Amino acid sequence: MPTFHAPRGTRDLLPAERASFDRLSAIAADLSRRYGYAGIETPMFEQTAVFERGVGAVTDIVEKELFRIQPRTDEAESWSLRPEGTAGVVRAYVQHGLRTWPQPVRVQYVGPMFRYDRPQAGRYRQFWQWDVEAIGDAGPGIDAEIVELGHRFYTEAGLSDVRVLLNSIGDPTCRPPYIERLTTYFERHRATLPDLEQARLRTNPLRLLDSKDPDMAALIADAPRIVDHLCDACRAHFDAVCEHLDALAVPVRIEPSLVRGLDYYTRTAFEYYREGAEGQQQALGGGGRYDGLVELLGGRPTPGIGFALGLDRVVLALAEAGAERARPARPAAFVASAEAGDTVERLRIATQLRRAGVSARADLGGRKLGRQLEQASREDAHFAVILGDELREGTVQLRDLRAGTQHPVPLTDLAREILRDEASHRHG
């Protein structure tokens, strides 16, 4: 028999790890409710052109990392698995005419993204993002709302040392002359550039600023900075974003070399890092303003801004920070009985409890009572419901596995008593 395994760069989230993701998704859902971002869902694959036009044909994400779906027939459209969420959400905004809704349209979702990346810790071919977008407001207030919301997520997840690196990458007025300036600068040093950077200089010079090659560090530090070449409108916008963020006491560091790897950004660009980890790379999340994207995908000119946080990296960061792991939910009650074979009664009582809202388990495999109780402890159940002869009179024994006490309870009161004790335990 061949042995099968998950594709390289993907992984199975077994229940313990899945619980960490569920916890983060619950934090994202709660923040979305508080901040007013409604849920949205778009397909996991789109026409390839959505990403080519949206993310940019000469970005790493599209050139090297797109999972293209093999067409089944000659005339089939070209589709690709989504490498990120923004292009799909903006496509949906245009397709469904969401510009007629009150603006900005604030939406969010958690879902998997796919990039044909070189797999390593924190870099996967399928990974999960919390993607948040606000479309239809030119800012600067919404920029600060979005940046602060992302930061708030890390704080509530248990990472207290995350800071925001912030930059403005200008707009179609000031960026082209800046890029010319930057190209001239790097052209002067062409001979010393690594091969990859020489190629990038032709296709996407801004990306040189984002190079992780240590040989580039000194050159990048001396390169012209876009923040020094912003047009008046971009400068005013950037100053106003900083002023709003200041008022919210978000820990921000201006990072003039931050350019982001997607082409749709204008003005505000930001990434989240744990303090001290900025150099090693692996942003926990990132985002920015994309004022040209709606138009690029066929809509009227409409501003937008958003971020995506990498949940896989947050789970890793929490483990590194020594945070307690989220655990799969523990049952309130475990139904056990002396009669090993009496799975009918155990299942019947467990089902009654479940219908009444109690999280209950029962051994359905016919183990002996001692083994059933061991299982109850292993699952960290609060109570064991022990069925014996008195069941005929409608009574069971309720054993509090934490307190080590036990007393008889009429079946008619069982669910109510367990729920009451659970509630007082939670609040006590």
Site for ligand HAM, rule CB under 6 A: 84-86, 115, 117, 122-124, 127, 129, 131, 133, 261-262, 283-288, 290, 306-308, 310, 312-313
Residues contacting 146, CB < 8 A, separation 6+: 132, 134, 287, 305, 306, 307
* Complex with ligand HAM: residue 131 or 197, whichever CB lies closer: 131
Q: What's the rounded Cα separation, in Å, for the pair 253 and 163?
A: 7
* Complex with ligand HAM: residue 109 or 383, whichever CB lies closer: 109
CA nearest neighbour of 200 among 259, 254, 278, 267: 259
- CB of 300 closer than 8 Å to CB of 294: yes
**Distance in Å, CB of 370 to ligand HAM, minimum:** 45
Q: How far is CA 10 from CA 61, 254, 384, in A?
A: 17, 34, 39
* Complex with ligand HAM: residue 287 or 331, whichever CB lies closer: 287
What spatial distance separates the first Cα and last Cα of the chain, rounded to whole Å? 55
Residue with tokens 């029962």: 362
* Complex with ligand HAM: residue 265 or 383, whichever CB lies closer: 265
**Distance in Å, CB of 249 to ligand HAM, minimum:** 23
Tell me the Cα Rg of the chain.
Answer: 27
**Distance in Å, CB of 358 to ligand HAM, minimum:** 38
* Complex with ligand HAM: residue 50 or 350, whichever CB lies closer: 50
**Distance in Å, CB of 269 to ligand HAM, minimum:** 9
**Distance in Å, CB of 5 to ligand HAM, minimum:** 19
Q: How far is CA 225 from CA 6, 236, 290, 349, in A?
A: 44, 17, 20, 70
**Distance in Å, CB of 330 to ligand HAM, minimum:** 30
**Distance in Å, CB of 248 to ligand HAM, minimum:** 19
* Complex with ligand HAM: residue 268 or 395, whichever CB lies closer: 268
- CB of 169 closer than 8 Å to CB of 266: yes
Sign of CA dihedral 283, 289, 290, 292: negative
**Distance in Å, CB of 287 to ligand HAM, minimum:** 4
Q: With 0-12 CB in 10 A as exposed, 13-18 as middle and 19+ as buried, what is 403?
A: exposed
**Distance in Å, CB of 71 to ligand HAM, minimum:** 25
**Distance in Å, CB of 31 to ligand HAM, minimum:** 15
Helix (H) or strand (E) holding 286: strand 285-289
Question: What is the 3-state secondary structure of 31-67?
Answer: HHHHHCCEECCCCCEEEHHHHHHHCCCCCHHHHCCCC
Long-range contact set of residues 350-359: C-beta below 8 Å, sequence gap at least 24: 352/411, 352/414, 352/415, 353/385, 353/414, 353/415, 353/418, 356/415, 356/416, 356/419, 357/415, 357/419, 358/332, 358/333, 358/415, 358/418, 358/419, 358/422, 359/329, 359/330, 359/331, 359/332, 359/333
- Closest CB to ligand HAM: residue number: 310
* Complex with ligand HAM: residue 124 or 186, whichever CB lies closer: 124
